[in-house]
Amino acid sequence: MKNGIKKLVISLSVVVGIAVFFSFRAEKDHNFEVAKNLDIFNSIVKELDMFYVDTIDPNVTIRRAIDAMLYSLDPHTSYYPADDQSELEQMIKGSYGGIGSIISYDPKNKYSVIAEPYEGMPAAEVGLKVGDILLQIDDTVLSDKDNQQVSEMLRGEIGTNFVLKVKRPGVEKPLDFTITRKSIQLPTIPYYGVLKDKVGYIEFVSFSGTPAADFKKAFVDLKNQGIESLIIDLRSNGGGLLDEAVEIVNYFVPKGDTIVTTKGKIKQASNTYVTKNQPLDTEIPIVLLVGGSTASAAEILAGSLQDLDRGVVIGNKTFGKGLVQIPRALPYGANMKLTSAKYYIPSGRCVQAIDYSHRDADGKVERIPDSLMTVFHTSIGREVKDGAGIMPDIEVKQDKLPNILFYLVTENHIFNYATDYCLKHKKIAPAKDFALSEADYQEFKEYIKGKDFKYDQQSEKVLSSLKEIAEFEGYLEESKSEFEALEKKLSHNIDKDLDYFSKDIKHILSLEIVKRYYFQKGSTIERLKQDKEVDEAVGILKGNTIYKNILSPAFKPMLSDSISVKLTKS
């Protein structure tokens, strides 16, 4: 017996020794490969600098090499040289030095224009208006600058001044504005308010800055206004700070719950995030609106409340970013944002949808297939899956915008008409009461027809292709009359199309007009008048019956069309 135990101990010692040896050897080989390739890279740069036919710019050449190397890992790991820290600072702090306005490029005039100034920010305070054409910054003429270059020139150190020359539609001479750059804090909650049936609504667009404090303030205010349920709109929220997401989850779940676990290569990258405070409200029914732009910390918020059966998720599949980034300081004032871990929400699943460690021969990556997804379970036993973002409990089909509207927007006809409209109307009704009149829409139709507006009709393209195929196969001659009749019916008719799609066109036109008077808040109020997913959420929260049925063990995710039939009879 003793000899047997002795042999077993010796055998185990040998196995452990072999494992340690190979582990040490693998680490040594890895370190050698890293050192070898760094030496080769340094030698290549030196050879290029000395012998290449043209003088290389080391900043440009090496930056391209760094960017290519990092992109081969994942798109979230990025390098920021000392003279280009504004983007990283904005992501971390949610702020930057600038004028506080979205600008867009007008390809027709070949200038950037003011597209949307933020309320209370320098652009709005000095009187810049949507549609103003940016001609000159101090002594620099902007006619040869693209939108990115103009944006970089508008940004700068907080407190610095510059003179902006603009051409305003309807005004003969250019206007000069002296602007002082300020710290631009992008709003995390552009709007919140009370909808019908005492439903609270919070539009939550970012996890940068102080989102938890902003959210708490909005929620407490809504509670004081008497809300009985809550919609959290995360459809435009691309994420941000992980610990802020955990704090917001804590507002609705008890102290001591594990919300997120991160797992990385090194011990410091692995962490567990637990709710630390007493919640604000563990009873109020919650619906979270999500979509393809919902990512990162926003997925933590939606996914955690789904896993804990604390809220119903409505909309469309989220982006699927289950990776955690940290900033790392580099020599000479540079920095990098580095993917250090994956995160896992309460059910144990990771929402990461793309495995960047596996690429095909062309270097492409694919979304994780359904066959490789693992089933997890919420607190009460509902099935959820990993590897595909957050799948909503109720999927709402997206309405397809008409083809004509795409061209009206991309060719700036909506934008330009709204500019003309604002020149003629010094003020409009409050956002909640504003409605585009039939006379206004008739004026818009005449405006479009005066622009000799043309757009591709898909039906005409398909018919033309079908005609070619019919001719090739010998059927055209006997079908000639049918084709001619169909061509007449599908011929371009701007009047007919503008009338047939008037509801969608009026909605986008109204959004463009209202935001010029009432900024982001007004734009949201206008959008809510025709928001399919918000209406779906209000219907689920009304009366609480459907809401409770969704949060039951037997529930299976479904399309919105079948909700009222299936769940009200449960």
pLDDT tens digits for range 417-463: 999 999 999 999 999 999 999 999 999 999 998 887 877 766 667 76
Pair (304, 434) in one structural domain: no
Q: Structural domain tally of the chain?
A: 4
Same domain, 352 and 417: no
Co-location of 237 and 366 in the same domain: yes
Q: Does 235 have pLDDT greater than 80?
A: yes
Q: Which of 229, 296, 340, 523 is an active site residue? A: 296
Q: What percent of the chain has pLDDT over 70?
A: 89
Regarding whether 241 and 178 lie in a shared domain, the answer is no
Specify whether 206 is located in the same domain as 250: yes
Same domain, 423 and 445: yes
Q: What is the mean pLDDT of residues 92-119?
A: 86
Q: pLDDT band at 92, cuts 50/70/90? A: low
Query: Strand pairing of 335-344 and 323-329?
Result: antiparallel
Asked if residue 557 belongs to a domain, the reply is no
Q: For 170-177, what is the mean pLDDT?
A: 94
| Tokens 């789904």 -> residue | 306
Longest alpha-carbon distance in the chain: 105
* Position 2 in a domain: no
Is residue 9's pLDDT more than 90?
Answer: no
Read off the tokens for 179: 């602007």
The distance in angstroms from the start CA to the end CA of the chain is 66
Task: Give yes or no for a contact between 130 and 422, defined as CB atoms under 8 angstroms apart.
Answer: yes
Catalytic choice (321, 385, 506, 521): 321
Q: Tell me whether residue 30 is in a domain.
A: no
- For the cut 50, the answer to whether the pLDDT of residue 512 exceeds it is yes
* 140 is a domain residue: yes
pTM: 0.85
Averaged pLDDT of the chain? 88
What count of Cα atoms within 13 Å lies in the side-chain half-sphere of residue 472?
Answer: 6
- 157/215 same-domain check: no
Instruction: State the CATH number of the domain containing residue 132.
Output: 2.30.42.10
Residue 165 designated active-site: no
Residue 233 sits in a domain whose CATH number is 3.90.226.10
Cβ partners under 8 Å of residue 448, min gap 6: 408, 413, 417, 494, 498
Nearest to 423 by CA among 520, 525, 527, 513: 513
316, part of any domain: yes
Residue that is last in its domain, among 146, 165, 185: 185
Q: Judge whether 296 counts as a catalytic residue.
A: yes
Residue 483 in domain = no
Cβ count within 10 A of residue 539: 17
3-class DSSP state for residue 156? coil
Q: How far apart are CA 226 and CA 100, in angstroms?
A: 34
Count Cα neighbours of 307 within 13 Å in the Cβ-side half-sphere: 26
- Decide if pLDDT at 361 tops 90: no
Catalytic residue among 214, 233, 307, 386: 307
**Does residue 555 register a pLDDT over 50?**
yes
Mean pLDDT of 354-368: 79
Segments forming the whole domain that contains residue 51: 35-71
Is 307 catalytic? The answer is: yes
Ramachandran category for residue 100: left, alpha or beta (phi over 0 → left; psi -120 to 50 → alpha): left
Q: What distance in Å separates the CA atoms of residue 525 and residue 317, rounded to the nearest whole number?
A: 25
Answer with the one of 392, 416, 444 that is the final residue of a domain. 392
Residues 6 or more apart whose Cβ sits within 8 Å of residue 97: 86, 155, 156, 157, 158, 160, 181, 182, 183, 184
The answer to whether residue 450 is domain-embedded is yes
| Residue where a domain stops, chosen among 159, 185, 211 | 185
8 Å CB contact between 550 and 567: yes
Residue 29 is predicted with a pLDDT of: 81
What per-residue confidence (pLDDT) applies to 370? 76
pLDDT at 5 over 70: no
Q: Are residues 370 and 344 in the same domain?
A: yes
Residues 377 and 243 in one domain: yes
Is 483 a residue whose pLDDT tops 90? no
CA 305-309-312 angle, to 5 degrees, is 70
Task: With respect to residue 128, please indicate whether it lies within any of the assigned structural domains.
Answer: yes
- Domain shared by 502 and 370, yes or no: no
Same domain, 148 and 121: yes
216 and 179 in a common domain: no
